[in-house]
Amino acid sequence: MTDSLPVRVFADRTDACRALATEVAALVRTINDSGRPAVLGLATGKTPLPFYAELIRLHCAGELSFARVLTFNLDEYLGLPGDHPESYRAFMQRELFSHVDIPAANVHIPDGMIGSAGLEAHCKAYEEAIRAAGGIDFQLLGIGRTGHIGFNEPGSPRDSRTRMVELDPVTRQDAAPSFGGLEQVPTHAISMGCGTILEARKIALLAWGQAKAAIVREALTGPITDRVSASFLQEHGDATFYLDREAGSLL
Ligand code: GLP
């Protein structure tokens, strides 16, 4: 256990996202000014929505360009085509990419329709593309009720890499309403591993609401264990939790 992981608790998620988006926009500008593209690791779920809204606002205000930004998403459901509304590719297009000036070639999301024959090579190529981009400058994370980051369910090793994962029943249950029923929720996904995520130079984990308060406390103050993959962040030198009051209420 460590108490060194910085936590910022805000009045609400809008305030938290405004603060983080301002920081990320400044980071992108600094990196672009140094002469190279900025590499962002992106997340899906309800949690990052106000953050993406804020990035779009900054873009529309002329304060943030994605022209020299490369993105790598954490994960994708297996078996969902990119045009399925619940695929993470469709989510990213809808919630961020279609509103900003990012070149399509700069976007990387695992391919949920890759067949089993090509899966291993696809995961290796994803890791290789991150390396070729120079590594991830900033990684955005949410947290699932099982304590997962990406889809690194309990039991995901500290040094795991991009691979196929089986979704925890709790995670599938949480996704069931948006899929219109549990039986529609995919059973597997492709996810960056804990090791992939922990190599990002800077990380922010966002969490809102009472429902996340217990797992946030566990991740921050509990043992560092593969039962709660977010607990590995305690060992990262530049990871920060951005919480609203409710999510921080048990700290
Ligand atoms: C999914 C995603 C995670 C996300 C989690 C929480 O499992 N793969 O990246 O953090 O859901 O979702 P929400 O933000 O909707 O609570």
Assess contact for 9 and 243: CB atoms under 8 A: yes
* Measured distance CA(43)–CA(234) in Å, rounded: 19
* Measured distance CA(176)–CA(117) in Å, rounded: 28
Give the CA angle between residues 120, 105, 56 to the nearest 5°. 115
Looking at ligand 1, which atom is closest to the CA of residue 150? 9
Which is nearest to 127 in space by CA: 75, 192, 69? 192
Residue 137 has pLDDT above 60, yes or no: yes
Secondary structure letter of residue 167 according to DSSP:
P
Between the CA of 44 and the centroid of ligand 1 the distance, in Å, is 6
Residue 237 has a CB neighbour count (10 Å cut-off) of 8
* Measured distance CA(74)–CA(56) in Å, rounded: 20
Crossing angle for the helix pair 49-60 and 13-33, to the nearest 10 degrees = 50
User: 74 CB under 6 A from ligand 1?
Assistant: yes
User: 41 CB under 6 A from ligand 1?
Assistant: no
Q: For the segment 177-224, what is each residue's pLDDT rounded down to a tens digit?
A: 999 999 999 999 999 999 999 999 999 999 999 999 999 999 999 999
Of 59-68, 76-85, 121-130, 227-236, least confident by mean pLDDT is 76-85
Between the CA of 49 and the centroid of ligand 1 the distance, in Å, is 11
Assess contact for 192 and 75: CB atoms under 8 A: yes
Residue 112, both tokens: 């949920």
Please, which pLDDT band fits residue 1 given cuts at 50, 70 and 90? Answer: very low
Which residue has its alpha carbon closest to ligand 1 atom 6? 144
User: 45 CB under 6 A from ligand 1?
Assistant: yes
Please, which pLDDT band fits residue 2 given cuts at 50, 70 and 90? Answer: very low
* Measured distance CA(58)–CA(200) in Å, rounded: 23
Between the CA of 175 and the centroid of ligand 1 the distance, in Å, is 9
Between the CA of 48 and the centroid of ligand 1 the distance, in Å, is 9
Between the CA of 192 and the centroid of ligand 1 the distance, in Å, is 14
Q: For the segment 50-79, what is each residue's pLDDT rounded down to a tens digit?
A: 999 999 999 999 999 999 999 999 999 999
User: 50 CB under 6 A from ligand 1?
Assistant: no
- Beta-carbon contacts of 85 under 8 Å, excluding residues fewer than 6 positions away, are none
Dihedrals phi, psi of 131, to nearest 5 degrees: -60, -45
What are the DSSP E strand ranges found in the chain?
7-10, 38-42, 69-73, 75-77, 107-108, 138-141, 163-166, 188-191, 202-207, 239-244
Between the CA of 189 and the centroid of ligand 1 the distance, in Å, is 13
Query: In the block, which residue shows the tokens 């690194």?
Result: 152
Please, which pLDDT band fits residue 82 given cuts at 50, 70 and 90? Answer: confident
When pLDDT is averaged across residues 97-108 and rounded to a whole number, the result is 98
Between the CA of 147 and the centroid of ligand 1 the distance, in Å, is 10
Between the CA of 141 and the centroid of ligand 1 the distance, in Å, is 8
* Measured distance CA(228)–CA(165) in Å, rounded: 15
- Computed on alpha carbons and rounded to an integer, the radius of gyration of the chain in Å comes to 17
User: 143 CB under 6 A from ligand 1?
Assistant: yes
Query: In the block, which residue shows the tokens 């002329």?
Result: 62
User: 144 CB under 6 A from ligand 1?
Assistant: yes
Looking at ligand 1, which atom is closest to the CA of residue 43? 9
User: 44 CB under 6 A from ligand 1?
Assistant: yes
HSE-CB at 118 with a 13 A cutoff on CA atoms is 10
